[in-house]
Amino acid sequence: MVREAFFAAQVLAAAAATAGVHHQQAAGAAAVTRALVSGVPIAAPDQIGALPADALKRAEVYRERERQFRSGLTPPKGGSDEELQLYESRVRVERVIVSLFDRQDAPKVAAGFALDVDLDREAPFIDELLRNLPVPWLAPYLNLIAGHRKLCAGATEDGRRQLVRARDGGHPLIRVAALHLLDAVAFCPEQ
């Protein structure tokens, strides 16, 4: 009887430990997803520590590039509140791209995309851009954003297809975010 109780306690402890690790991974993935799809600063290392090793390494690089980021966009002089909010939204997009991709051309591409993107019709704009994308390294990020926006708009099947392409695009942080969105309810800040 004592052995059976001890064995049962070991099984419960192992299950609790596994659930704890899964919860930490989910919380870390949610934090990465929020950063990539909303442009908020990436979470502190202790909040995303249970991610795969390649994602943790890329998160460190992301955090450093995010810290050093300087926008290439010019703020509107004497702009209205609406114009300033639009500018800030574009800077968030630019910052995510520069932070994700450690490439010499990333700042220029990020500023160009952030300036051109139709923020009211992001998914259709991205879909059109993906048809003839001059910088293929940006495709995983674009698929993540368009897939997320489609999920939030209720186009679940199209959104999931695009998230699979994002997941398979090779970038560890984008893979974490895409998997999180495929496995969970989409984080939709606009709703």
Q: What is the rounded average pLDDT of the residues 3-10?
A: 44
- 170-179 pLDDT, tens digit per residue, is 999 999 999 9
Rounded Cα–Cα distance for residues 91 and 86 (Å):
9
Q: Please give the pLDDT value at position 6.
A: 42
- 103-122 pLDDT, tens digit per residue, is 999 999 999 999 999 999 99
Rounded Cα–Cα distance for residues 118 and 99 (Å):
21
Top pLDDT among 46 and 135 is at 135
Q: What is the rounded average pLDDT of the residues 127-154?
A: 95
**Rounded to the nearest 5 degrees, what angle is found at the Cα of 139, between the Cα atoms of 138 and 141?**
70
Residue ranges covered by each domain of the chain: 2-183
Which residues are CB-neighbours of 95 under 8 A, at least 6 positions away? 39, 66, 69, 71, 110
Q: What is the rounded average pLDDT of the residues 129-135?
A: 94
Above 80 in pLDDT, residue 12?
Answer: no
Q: What is the rounded average pLDDT of the residues 155-170?
A: 95
Q: Please give the pLDDT value at position 190.
A: 57
Above 60 in pLDDT, residue 11?
Answer: no
- Which two tokens mark 111? 């500023």
HSE, side-chain direction, 13 A CA sphere, residue 31: 21
- For residue 108, which of 147, 136, 135 has the smallest C-alpha distance? 135
- For residue 110, which of 50, 161, 69 has the smallest C-alpha distance? 69
Q: What is the rounded average pLDDT of the residues 83-102?
A: 96
